A = this chain, B = another copy of it.
Amino acid sequence: MPNLTQALRRFIVGERLPTARAMHERLPKYLALPTFAADAISSSAYATEEVLLVLVLAGSGALRYSTAVMLCIAVLFTIVAVSYRQTVTAYPSGGGAYIVARENLGLYPGLIAASALLVDYVLTVAVSIASGVAAIISALPILAGYRVELCLVFIAFITIANLRGVRESGKLFAGPTYLFVASMLLMLVSGSIRELLFPGSRAAAPQVPVEQPLTVFLLLRAFASGCAALTGTEAIANSVPSFRPPESRNAATTLMWMLAICVVLNIGAAGFAQAYHIVPDHLQRETVLSQLGRTVFGKGVLYYILQAATAIILTLAATTSFAGFPRLASILAKDSLAPRQLANLGDRLVFSNGILLLGAFSALLTVVFRGMVHALIPLYAVGVFISFTLSQAGMVRHWQKLRTANWHFAAAMNALGAVVTGVVVIVVASAKFIHGAWIALLLIPVLIAVFLKIAQHYRSLATALSTEGYAVPRALRHAVLVLVPGVHRGVVSALLYAKSIATEPEGVFVEIDPAETPKVQEEWYRLHLGIPLTVLQSPWRSLTDSVIQYIRTVRAERHVDLVTVVIPEFATTRWWHGLLHNQAGLMLKFALMSEPGVVVTNVRYHVEE
């Protein structure tokens, strides 16, 4: 069985890598861009749609504000990216919001940033995959009935890809990301040319009834929804150590490239959606991007390439979270704020447990929200902007402490970022509060409480286990009991072993059926091992209860520190043999785990059949 499990693991995860190869898992810029910027870039596939979905509540006339809203978002994007550029340079070892906030602002701001980021990483996976599936369903409406199932298949795929390691991810994902950017640009250019040559070819604006008046609050809500475009911006700053040296400079350049691509794609998409009078569908039968592609390309090869590239890059966008979440979780684990297993490097030098956890949470979210992007969006982006704000505020403190040349300028840049993103937090949280932002806001204090509880446990355990000033006890006195299920060679091995570790071991037989006892006793004394056999009554037919009762008696009466319970077992050659034997030893071991002063020893006899 273990071999089968292992073979399966090798097949899914790939051959394991030695620790010494860790340094080699670095990415050049052209691979780092798709890997760490896929999230931010792919957001342009749904950001415009989310803006339109809010505006359309005020009727089709309100849709003409979409480009203006998107321009505001682009300005915000630039401020944030330039702000983060400084973080990348200042924190070459990876300047995630948690590290920056904790180092410069203290534990609690750090924990707020960490919780906010973890929540948003999970949402990024759920939103990206749901949006990718929406692109597929737009092109192939026949799949509309399998939205959730498709999402789960893609989440499983992306999880496995990430368990295989980050370098392979980069290679795997570069093609589709660049293809998406190219298709989008081609669409924007073709569309522009068409507009120049045949300015009259647009469809008439369709009429959508007004549900709500066009208020400033509605415009702010549209802006808040569109802010999903900024998610993933912090990924490059989090991942500086994954870049090839010089890490900081390469990361900063990549960040600027990402900004340029995102601004062009988002404004382009919003502008064309407005120009072509695209009306969004809140049931996501067809995405806005699909409508755009269909208008420009017609339903031909280019349209299908655009949809495929969109679906793939959105699926891959989740990679950004799969790099960020496990890395942040491992940092928290090393700081004793999260379970230590999250800091274990897996077979492929990635943090496997964090990857699996992220996969599981995002699958759960997908099932709960039925794979609908529009249902997930209100929860999204609040966390991201909280972490932006804390990170930039931390950078201001950082420059104040460091006082390098031009620190005033650097601090002012970050201060601008902090103030702007701080205002956005308030806008986003209040505009989307009742629509779902409250869930994200509630999760942050819950997570912080969990982190603190975990830290307290590790701390109190470390104190309880510390050898500092610990008077090492005198030698131990222990009694040895050998559990005798019957008399056979396996038991003889256990008895010989017991004699080798104690001068006066004792056999213990639990009587379930009184008719068997004399036979066992007779066979026992025929062994001539000079070990006494105690027979325990068991009126309730429970081996475990009788043995525990006897152990307590022995500990009390013989004044020993420990009782060693030797459990003889036999190892059989076939897996199904295990089904043919009472697993009483296993049950007993489980029960003895919570019994103090007991050492459980397994002597396995390997049967030669």
Q: Which residues of A contact B (CB under 8 A)?
A: 2, 16, 18-20, 339-341, 344-345, 347, 454, 457-458, 460-462, 464-467, 470, 472-473, 475-478, 487-490, 492, 496-497, 499-502, 512, 523, 526-529, 538-541, 562, 564, 570-572, 577, 579-582, 590-591, 593-594, 596, 598-609
Contacts and interface: CB of A to CB of B under 8 A. Distances in A.
A20 B581 CA distance: 25
A475 B489 contact: no
B2 A594 contact: yes
B465 A599 contact: no
A499 B470 contact: no
A457 B345 contact: no
A237 to B, nearest CB: 25
A601 to B, nearest CB: 4
Contacts of A466: 488-489
B600 A602 contact: yes
B593 A339 contact: no
A69 to B, nearest CB: 44
Number of copies: 2
B488 A476 contact: no
Given A20-B539, A492-B467, A580-B454, A499 B487 contact: no
A539 B501 CA distance: 35
Given A454-B580, A501-B501, A18 B487 contact: no
Given A464-B609, A490-B465, A577 B457 contact: yes
Contacts of A497: 476, 478, 562, 599
A197 B487 CA distance: 78
9 contacts: A18-B540, A20-B539, A340-B582, A461-B572, A461-B609, A462-B488, A466-B489, A467-B489, A470-B489
Contact of A496 (B473, B502, B541): B473
A341 to B, nearest CB: 5
A453 to B, nearest CB: 9
A607 B476 contact: no
A331 to B, nearest CB: 15
- Top 3 closest pairs, chain A to chain B, by CB: A465-B488, A501-B501, A601-B601
Given A467-B527, A476-B497, 11 more contacts: A16-B540, A347-B540, A461-B577, A464-B608, A465-B488, A472-B496, A472-B529, A473-B496, A571-B594, A599-B603, A601-B602
A353 B341 CA distance: 37
B599 A601 contact: yes
B461 A475 contact: no
Given A339-B579, A571-B594, A608-B464, A475 B492 contact: no
A517 to B, nearest CB: 13
A475 B499 contact: yes
A539 B20 CA distance: 7
Contacts of A541: 19, 344-345
Contacts of A582: 340-341, 344
